[in-house]
Amino acid sequence: MKRVQGGTIETMVAAHNMTNIVLERLQKQQRPDCLQPINADGTYPWRASPEAGSGSTSS
């Protein structure tokens, strides 16, 4: 395994990949699910199905 300044090549590639993931999420204003707000019942508000709470009633 070839050593480079600061660690192995595999370590450098892994760090580069993690940096790309973070930068992409920052550019798209995305956060991981574990950092998103959730409802009291444990669901994510934006993932609600279109049928739920559609407000249509039949009379």
Instruction: Give dist(CA 45, CA 52) in Å, integer.
Output: 11
Q: Does any domain span residue 53?
A: no
Helix or strand run (H / E) with residue 4: strand 3-4
Number of structural domains (the chain) is 1
Helix or strand run (H / E) with residue 3: strand 3-4
pLDDT of residue 59: 44
Q: Does any domain span residue 42?
A: no
pLDDT along the chain (59 residues), means of 10: 69 94 85 82 78 51
| Termini Cα distance of the chain | 73
Does the predicted model carry a pTM greater than 0.75? no
Q: Does any domain span residue 26?
A: yes
Domain of residue 24, residue span: 3-36
